[in-house]
Amino acid sequence: MAENTLVIERFRLPLKNGLHLEGEIKVPQGDTALPVLLISHGFRGHKDWAFWPEASGRLAAAGFYTVSFNFSRVAARTAAGLSEQEAAEAQTQSRELLDLEELLHSLQEGRLPLAERAGLQRLALLGHSRAGGSVIVFAAEHPEVKALAVWNGGSPPVRTYGPGESPSLPEQAIQADLAAGGERYNLERALGGLSAKALVIQGDNDREELLRQNQLFREQAPQHRYVAVAGADHTFNTTEPYTGSTPALDTALAETVAFLRTQLGSVGGRVRQEP
């Protein structure tokens, strides 16, 4: 399916404190209701970063109502009138979960574009990096989620500070939020208790702490599907600026499409778009 057969419409959802969510809906042409896939980028990325435009397009072409969006922390970088503390708190995982909540409500209320194409009874999440952990927590708290895919995801790295160093205000906000969340952010426990089925894809050349967490996932939540991608780093060997897909990214996409089709069902469509 060529990319120009996709229908793409943008949206903007205002939030409190001058923040907003912005994104786009991508669907293949047609009039059938499709499984819904919310795509969550990593902590340092955004919806147009590196592989995401191609990945979201290929997932839509495979038969999904894809919601590709920027977390509100992206808007916080340029929002007028935000205090330093408010901007810092926009970086937290709690804010990430609130953003997902707003997207879910907008879907349920028909406020996103092409709402007639959204099959809300077949809702799935995809999260990369820190958002991989967030979608686990969100799915654990929302039975509406029927399937999720985690790409190189888990807890955020814990930075150590040398003599004379101290955490920045955003780092302080992130760590305070994680401490306040307590067991809510116990990802192994959350994944183990999920009613939805999960696909956890992990590059074996990723950060050591994520490889260790992946092993804990496998031990404490063995009911889910795990895929190791040989030689893949945190971004599946792609770069920013983006120079094209890689075998590792192709594997992640193919595995994700096959898994979601099994869990949700979908209309037909190729994983690889033709030029």
Q: Give the pLDDT score at 267.
A: 57
Query: Using CA atoms, how far apart are residues 49 and 74, in angstroms rounded to an integer?
Result: 12
Q: Is 243 part of a structural domain of the chain?
A: yes
Q: Give the pLDDT score at 4.
A: 54
CATH number at 76 reads: 3.40.50.1820
Tokens of 118: 């959204």
Tokens of 156: 């955020």
Provide the number of structural domains found in the chain: 1
241-260 tens-digit pLDDT: 999 999 999 999 999 999 99
Its domain, for residue 230, covers 3-156+169-264
Q: Is 272 part of a structural domain of the chain?
A: no
Q: Is 45 part of a structural domain of the chain?
A: yes
Q: Is 69 part of a structural domain of the chain?
A: yes
Q: Give the pLDDT score at 49.
A: 97
Other C-beta atoms within 10 Å of 242: how many? 15
Query: Using CA atoms, how far apart are residues 199 and 217, in angstroms rounded to an integer?
Result: 11
Q: Is 198 part of a structural domain of the chain?
A: yes
Beta strands in the chain (DSSP E): 6-14, 20-28, 34-40, 65-70, 118-128, 145-151, 197-203, 225-229
Q: Give the pLDDT score at 266.
A: 57
In the chain, % helix, strand, coil (3-state, to 5) comes to 40, 20, 35
Q: Is 98 part of a structural domain of the chain?
A: yes
Q: Give the pLDDT score at 115.
A: 97
Q: Is 52 part of a structural domain of the chain?
A: yes
pLDDT-flagged residues of the chain (< 70): 1-4, 266-275
Long-range (24+ apart) CB contacts under 8 A made by 52-56 are 53/242, 54/242, 54/245, 55/249, 55/253, 56/26
Tokens of 72: 């509100």
Q: Which residues pair with 226 in a beta bridge?
A: 200
Q: Is 124 part of a structural domain of the chain?
A: yes
Task: Give the amino acid at 261.
Answer: R
